[in-house]
Chain A
Amino acid sequence: MSASDNPFYTALALILGMDSDLIDIVVLSLQVSLVAVLIASALALPVGAALALWRFPGRNGLIVVLNALMGLPPVVAGLCVYLLLSRAGPLGSFGLLFTPSAMVIAQVILVFPIIAALTRQQVEALQHEYAEQLRSLGLTQLRMMPTLLWDARFGLLTVILAGFGRASAEVGAVMIVGGNIDGVTRVMTTSIVLETSKGDLPLALGLGIVLLTLVTLINALAHAVSEAAKRRLG
């Protein structure tokens, strides 16, 4: 294997070269996935907590469906969003297909079930633990929700990171709804697919290493923030 065929060397050259196309791709990847996780969290944390606290008919069915949707194949989510956003589809008039917004929508659909299902499980466990205290205070479920979410925050950070992992790793959905357009909707994972199909395997793997490095950095940052917070708050 010559130096230029070595994916680690390629990855290093990519990072050190600060190629402007690569930076655009990296920035877009992070924007799409972070915005998707942000939106999905804003929706899924309350939904997950509500599902843990309230008892209503069909609740178990809903939990099963939510758990099952954690395994939703990205390409299926992509196809559904494609059909929704296509000009011939119900939301076609917004002209969102083949834009970063379409990619965010698809990733929200993929990430939502993961965050909601795991939040439900975390909050429910916490509620059992504090059951007596909560009852003695006579709190309503609505009042319990923010308290329990806040108390579960360190566990929930891992939940959100799991959602981010799903978003940054998937390719099936963003490929279909984004179209992998150079400079517009091309992200890390779709670039890797493209380079693989061109037979440039060292570059494809090099991009993979760059992606993995970025995801590791974000996880390290989240870990550091949560450790620091734990120390300060005891």
Chain B
Amino acid sequence: MKTTTTLITASVCTTALAWSASPLADDDFITLASTTSTENSGLFDAIIPTFTEATGIDVRVVAVGTGQAFEIGRRGDADSLLVHDTAGEEQFVADGYATERLDVMYNDFVIVGPSDDPAGISDSESVADAFARIAESGSPFASRGDDSGTNRAELRLWEDAGVTPQGDWYRELGSGMGPTLNTAAGMDAYTFTDRATWVAFDNPQNLTLLFEGDEALFNQYGSLLLSEERHPHLKHDLAAQWHQWLVSEEGQQAIADFEVGGQQLFFPNAK
């Protein structure tokens, strides 16, 4: 009994020591707060190895909604941000939390819903028209409701459509994109999603893509370089290399090369 206990304790302690020491040995990494759409689609798995090979810097991704990513950045808990809410990003710079914001890439939002399309949005003229039809028909609509970039874009579009989204049909889930798609599939609801998450999503059930292509559905991603003045402890040199690499020829090419099922999901558009 005693020897077994000692053995177990010893092995636990050794592994604990070995593993607590290992992160210290390798300090060449940055923590990136980014969105679930970029992580879940597999983009980071595709481009980070290229960056690491070129610079020796590893990128540790914390994938959250854009609202939470801003909060992580404000508190100084990540070295860099890659998010998709241009208005929010510009505000973030104006507030002094970041010194520079660069366009990196874009994709687009789409509306998905039950394949029999009870609100008849598939032949809508615009996204505003499609949203108005959903509201009018009272068909269930699943909203992220989590202050993410996608959620903020969706709320702006309701405003454009002249609809106040409330009532039994409008269901705020307060979850990430994936869980929202799972729930929408479960209750046969319409929902608003970025294309990358939708294409990489494996559980569509009866959901299908019903509306796409309006210019208002443009979804811009931006990289933020955090303020050295506000958070001097962050790894600004390494983060700056990542920030610059994203908009470099090599980084832009890596983004363009990323495909899921033969479909390109993000389109580089650095200026």
Contact of A98 among B40, B44, B77, B203 (CB under 8 A): B77
Complex formed: what's the CA distance from A230 to B62 in Å?
Answer: 47
Q: Contacts A181-B60, A181-B62: A199 and B76 contacting too (C-beta < 8 A)?
A: no
Closest residue of chain A to B18 (Cβ to Cβ) is A31
Q: State whether A88 and B201 are in contact (beta carbons under 8 Å apart), knowing that A180-B62, A197-B40, A233-B1 are contacts in the complex.
A: no
Say whether chain B's binding surface is mostly helix, strand, loop, or mixed: helix
Contact A199 to B202, CB < 8 A, known contacts A35-B12, A38-B9, A87-B77: yes
Residue of B whose beta carbon sits closest to that of A183: B60
Beta-carbon contacts under 8 Å, A158-200 to B: 179-182, 184, 194, 196-200
A: contact size bracket: 35 or more
Q: For A197, give its contact among B9, B74, B77, B182 (CB under 8 Å).
A: B182
B77–A199 touching, CB < 8 Å: no
A201 on the B face (CB < 8 A): yes
Q: Is the CB of A232 within 8 A of B23?
A: no
CB contacts under 8 Å to A, within B15-53, are 15-16, 19-20, 23, 31, 36, 40, 44-45
- Report chain B residues within 8 Å CB of A182: 44-45, 60-61
User: Across the A-B interface, how many residue pairs have beta carbons closer than 8 Å?
Assistant: 84
Bound together, the chains give a CA A175 to CA B202 distance in angstroms of 22
A98 to B178, CA, bound (A): 22
Q: Is the CB of A196 within 8 A of B63?
A: no
Known: A87-B75, A228-B1. A200 touches B202 (CB 8 A): yes
Report how far A200 CA is from B201 CA in the complex, Å: 7
How far, in Å, is A157 (CB) from chain B's closest CB? 10
Whether a CB of chain A sits under 8 angstroms from the CB of B231 is yes
B204 is an interface residue with CB less than 8 A from chain A = yes
Q: Are A201 and B202 in contact (CB under 8 A)?
A: yes
Q: For the complex, give the distance between the alpha carbons of A35 and B11 in Å.
A: 11
- Check A179–B62 contact: CB distance below 8 A: yes
Residue of B nearest to A202 (CB): B202
Q: Does A215 contact B (CB under 8 A)?
A: no
A98-B31 contact, Cβ under 8 Å, with A31-B16, A38-B12, A198-B202: yes
Shortest beta-carbon distance from B146 to chain A in Å? 12
Q: Is the CB of A232 within 8 A of B1?
A: yes
- Report if A88-B1 is in contact (Cβ < 8 Å); known contacts: A100-B20, A101-B20, A199-B181: no
For B203, list chain A residues within 8 Å (CB). Answer: 199-201
Say yes or no for A225: interface residue by CB 8 A criterion. yes
A86 adjacent to chain B (CB < 8 Å): yes
Q: In the assembled complex, how far is the CB of residue A112 from the closest CB belonging to chain B, in whole angstroms?
A: 18
A192 to B40, CA, bound (A): 13
Cα of A228 to Cα of B4 in the assembled complex, Å:
11
The interface bits of chain A over 88-103 (1 if a CB of B lies within 8 angstroms of the residue's CB, else 0) are: 1100110101111100
- Interfacial residues, chain A to chain B (CB-CB below 8 A): 27-28, 31, 34-35, 38, 86-89, 92-93, 95, 97-101, 179-182, 184, 194, 196-201, 225, 228-229, 232-233
Q: Which 5 A-B pairs have the closest CB atoms?
A: A197-B178, A199-B203, A179-B62, A87-B76, A199-B202
* Further 14 A-B residue pairs, CB within 8 A, beyond A87-B77, A182-B44, A182-B45: A28-B19, A31-B15, A31-B19, A87-B75, A100-B19, A181-B61, A184-B60, A194-B40, A196-B178, A197-B177, A198-B178, A199-B181, A199-B201, A200-B202
Interface pairs (13), CB distance under 8 Å: A38-B9, A86-B75, A87-B75, A88-B75, A88-B76, A99-B23, A100-B20, A179-B31, A179-B62, A198-B40, A199-B182, A232-B1, A233-B1
